[in-house]
């Protein structure tokens, strides 16, 4: 709970210099501490308290969160090796893209609503509902007898997964002070990353028996165990309401409806663009435009004063540090997906590697990313300063993107290995330090709403992380198409088909001058892709200058958290 300052003058000083909105939780008790906060040090010159020993209940909750993160992230990659089998069994055709797209769209669109529900009903029940929804969706998907049923099951799965991923971060924020959050989020991240890495292997093992259904069924027992653990041990404080109607009245039904519909519309357009229809097609343009208009309506609705409790309170974006954090979260998420897609693509095109070999060649990036994030989380916990991590993160990321732009067919292994380390370290410095910085600049009552926005922008950034570089790549191929003299080859890679041809037999069949010309075309096009990534990295680096340096709090102040055991009544103990 926030402690009020006795002196209003000191209160104004804290708010002015720390960037914390009205109602912020961190408040000093004397003038010395107030002066320290004015200098950007949230804890003043007081020694940092040692982390308290965590009770058994904390570790049980933490294990359940790791289990939920593992299950939700496993479904992000487990289908990569079995999609052809599903397409054949369900006669999906080109509509197979909706098997994964429905999951991603649902997971992104639901997160702000989950953040609001967590504020109204507490974290426990939304988390239980999310785990149950994800498990139900896994069962429906596994038992699907048609493509429509599978897409429906994946949508239900996505709704549950989006809630799980968001609430996992919210609950960790409730259980730990700002300095410790990044370290524990790093452990959860490593659990999710492990699931992402082994997902294709598990899917391939199931596919070897000629079935894909256990790719979904495997999540049912895991989700069931996670639900049971959460039901027994996820005992968190929650707001009290006089009646259920007063709680329901706090939900922003109109705002959430507009936002979810608009988000789905935009994501549908982005996913179809370049895959099912050309980007110039009305099938792509109309949903994106409608979604953009819907977002404008949503913003007007949130700021209108008509809604009692906005899903995304405008005060979140009026805070400079929080706003920059949201933007940089989107940029870093986009660049993470950008690298994950186009780094293997470099090896598959310019180096002629198979998909399996390219997955080995990008191990320096994948294997170093999570340890780097954990190490930077420890640094954040020790220093309480996030701004230097943001600078170093975007600095190393810019360096890596610039070096990637110089890669060609003859770049030595020593170079591209170390360049991947630079990129992994840069992203590792950013991905866990942005959320604590956002939360430090806002009052504790906005933790769930801010985390909801953060989670949504991360998911939204992932979609753009494939869309933007694909647009750049295809545009560059079309612009320099005259580099290839063979008309048949030009026709095969024109109009957005160049990306897909890297996975087909075309490049392998080329010889002599035509092959050299085609490889040169791909080299120049990929260089432009990395130049664009460099531009976004530099934007993120420059935006860090606008952040305020607020020292992360080493003590926990929240109205949520683990339920405390009731102390025995003094009169009863005397008796």
Where exactly are the structural domains of the chain?
1-43, 51-237+247-252, 319-553
Whether pLDDT at 571 is above 90:
no
pTM: 0.79
Residues 338-345: what's their mean pLDDT?
Answer: 86
What residues have CB less than 8 Å from 457, skipping those under 6 apart?
326, 329, 330, 333
pLDDT at 502: 59
Range in 82-96, 274-288, 447-461 the model is least confident about: 82-96
Q: Which fold has domain 319-553?
A: Growth Hormone; Chain: A; (1.20.1250)
pLDDT band at 403 (very low <50, low <70, confident <90, very high): very high
Residues 512-538: what's their mean pLDDT?
Answer: 89
Distance CA 538, CA 203 (A): 38
- Sign of the Cα torsion 43, 46, 50, 53 reads negative
Cβ-contact 195, 74 below 8 angstroms: yes
CA Rg value for the chain: 25
Q: What percent of the chain has pLDDT over 90?
A: 22
- Cα pseudo-dihedral 87, 90, 92, 96, rounded to 10: -60
Whether pLDDT at 38 is above 60:
no
The whole-angstrom distance between residue 133's C-alpha and the CA centroid of its chain comes to 20
CB count within 10 Å of CB 358 equals: 18
CB count within 10 Å of CB 462 equals: 21
Whether pLDDT at 4 is above 70:
no
Query: Helix (H) and strand (E) counts for the chain?
Result: 27, 0
* Inter-CA distances, 387 with 2, 23, 34, 71, 547, Å: 25, 23, 21, 32, 7
Residues 228-239: what's their mean pLDDT?
Answer: 79
Cβ-contact 328, 434 below 8 angstroms: yes
* Inter-CA distances, 411 with 184, 299, 351, 408, 431, Å: 38, 48, 9, 6, 29
Q: Which fold has domain 51-237+247-252?
A: Growth Hormone; Chain: A; (1.20.1250)
Whether pLDDT at 378 is above 90:
no
Distance CA 216, CA 154 (A): 9
Q: Do domains 51-237+247-252 and 319-553 have the same CATH topology?
A: yes
Residues 202-223: what's their mean pLDDT?
Answer: 82
């Amino acid at each position: 709970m926030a402690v009020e300052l006795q002196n209003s003058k000191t209160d104004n000083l804290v708010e002015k210099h720390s960037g914390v909105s009205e109602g912020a939780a961190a408040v000093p008790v004397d003038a010395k501490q107030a002066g320290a906060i004015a200098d950007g040090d949230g804890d003043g010159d007081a020694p940092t308290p040692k982390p308290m020993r965590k009770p058994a209940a904390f570790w049980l909750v933490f294990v359940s969160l790791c289990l939920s993160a593992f299950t939700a992230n496993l479904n992000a990659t487990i289908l990569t090796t079995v999609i052809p089998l599903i397409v054949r069994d369900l006669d999906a055709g080109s509509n197979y893209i909706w098997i994964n797209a429905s999951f991603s769209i649902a997971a992104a669109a639901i997160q702000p609503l989950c953040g609001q529900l967590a504020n109204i009903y507490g974290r426990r029940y939304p988390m239980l509902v999310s785990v149950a929804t994800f498990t139900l969706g896994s069962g429906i998907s596994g038992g699907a007898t048609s493509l429509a049923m599978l897409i429906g099951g994946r949508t239900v799965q996505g709704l549950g997964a989006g809630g799980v991923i968001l609430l996992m971060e919210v609950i960790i924020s409730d259980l730990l002070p700002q300095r410790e959050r990044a370290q524990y989020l790093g452990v959860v991240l490593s659990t999710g990353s492990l699931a992402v890495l082994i997902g294709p292997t598990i899917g391939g093992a199931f596919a070897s028996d000629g079935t894909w259904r256990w790719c979904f069924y495997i999540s049912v027992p895991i989700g069931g165990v996670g639900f049971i653990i959460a039901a027994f041990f996820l005992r968190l404080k929650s707001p009290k309401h006089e009646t259920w109607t007063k709680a329901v009245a706090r939900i922003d039904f109109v705002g959430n409806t507009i936002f979810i519909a608009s988000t789905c519309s935009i994501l549908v357009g982005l996913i179809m663009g370049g895959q099912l229809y050309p980007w110039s097609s009305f099938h792509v343009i109309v949903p994106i435009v409608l979604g953009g208009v819907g977002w404008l309506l949503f913003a007007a609705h949130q700021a209108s004063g008509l809604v009692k409790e906005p899903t995304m309170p405008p005060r979140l974006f009026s805070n400079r540090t929080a706003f920059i954090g949201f933007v940089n979260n989107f940029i870093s998420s986009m660049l993470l997906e950008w690298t994950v897609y186009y780094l293997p693509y470099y090896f598959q095109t310019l180096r002629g590697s198979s998909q399996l070999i390219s997955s080995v060649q990008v191990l320096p990036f994948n294997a170093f990313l999570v340890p780097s994030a954990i190490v930077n989380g420890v640094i954040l916990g020790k220093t309480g300063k996030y701004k230097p991590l943001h600078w170093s993160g975007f600095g190393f990321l810019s360096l890596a993107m610039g070096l990637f732009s110089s890669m060609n067919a003859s770049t030595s292994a020593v170079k591209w290995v170390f360049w991947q380390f630079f990129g992994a370290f840069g992203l590792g410095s950013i991905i866990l330090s942005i959320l604590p910085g956002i939360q430090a600049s806002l009052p504790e009552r906005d933790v769930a709403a801010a985390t909801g926005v953060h989670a949504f922008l991360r998911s939204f950034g992932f979609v753009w992380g494939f869309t933007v570089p694909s647009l750049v790549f295809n545009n560059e191929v079309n612009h320099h198409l005259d580099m290839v003299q063979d008309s048949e080859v030009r026709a095969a890679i024109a109009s957005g088909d160049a990306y897909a041809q890297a996975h087909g037999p075309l490049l392998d069949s080329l010889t002599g001058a035509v092959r050299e010309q085609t490889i040169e075309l791909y080299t120049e096009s990929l260089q432009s892709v990395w130049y664009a990534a460099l531009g976004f990295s530099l934007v993120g680096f420059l935006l860090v200058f606008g952040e305020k340096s607020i020292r992360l709090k080493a003590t926990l102040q929240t109205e949520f958290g683990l339920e405390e055991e009731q102390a025995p009544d003094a009169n009863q103990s005397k008796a």
